[in-house]
Amino acid sequence: MVEMESRTVRDKDSGFGRRALISALSGQRITYLVAGAMTAVLYYGLLGLGLLIAKDGVPYLFLVVVCYLVAATIIYPWYRLVVFRGTRESWPVGYLRFYAVGLSFLATSIIGLPILVGFAGIPILVAQGLIIIASPPLSYLIHRTWTFRTH
């Protein structure tokens, strides 16, 4: 009898823990972090592939711009459908806002990369990673309050 009571309490606790975990994982900040990781992997993959294929035949800043455009276009539906579900803006308006926010971070890359690569001698992908590290918190705030606003 004691074992059964203990087991019942344990089952209730694990159910609560499971619900709390699912709730936490479906939270906007968590899905935003997942989206950011997906974006970074996609962007770095495209940029790395572009650098590998182009060698020195194409300026790396051109590749940065093209890879950003492609990554933003591919990843936008995830942000729209999973991260910021409550938005009422149309898809084209939402994408334009999404891309406008991204352009400010792209500008930071275009300015910062030549400094880090050209003057400091840091490899392109490492330099890009250093520039991106500070962007997620600011990007989240801008997307939440402007790009995907719910009111």
More confident residue, 42 or 36: 42
Domain with 100, as residue range(s), is 27-147
Identify whether 137 is part of a domain: yes
Identify whether 117 is part of a domain: yes
| 35 half-sphere exposure, CB direction, 13 A CA radius | 24
Identify whether 38 is part of a domain: yes
How far apart are alpha carbons 12 and 75 in whole angstroms? 38
Identify whether 133 is part of a domain: yes
Give the percent of the chain with pLDDT over 70: 77
pLDDT confidence of residue 136: 67
Q: Which of 11, 12, 148 is closest to 87 using CA atoms? A: 148
pLDDT for 65-105, tens place per residue?
999 999 999 998 888 888 877 777 788 888 888 888 888 88
Using left for φ > 0, alpha for ψ between -120 and 50, and beta otherwise, residue 96 falls in alpha
Identify whether 60 is part of a domain: yes
More confident residue, 9 or 101: 101
Q: What is the mean pLDDT of the chain?
A: 80
DSSP string, the chain: -HHHHHHHHHHHHHHHHHHHHHHHHTSHHHHHHHHHHHHHHHHHHHHHHHHHHHTTSS-HHHHHHHHHHHHHHHHHHHIIIIISTT--S-HHHHHHHHHHHHHHHHHHHHHHHIIIIIIT---HHHHHHHHHTTHHHHHHHHIIIIIT---
Query: What's this model's pTM, rounded to 2 decimal places?
Result: 0.70
pLDDT for 127-149, tens place per residue?
998 888 766 666 777 777 877 77
Q: How many domains does the chain have?
A: 1
Identify whether 7 is part of a domain: no
How far apart are alpha carbons 7 and 13 in whole angstroms? 10
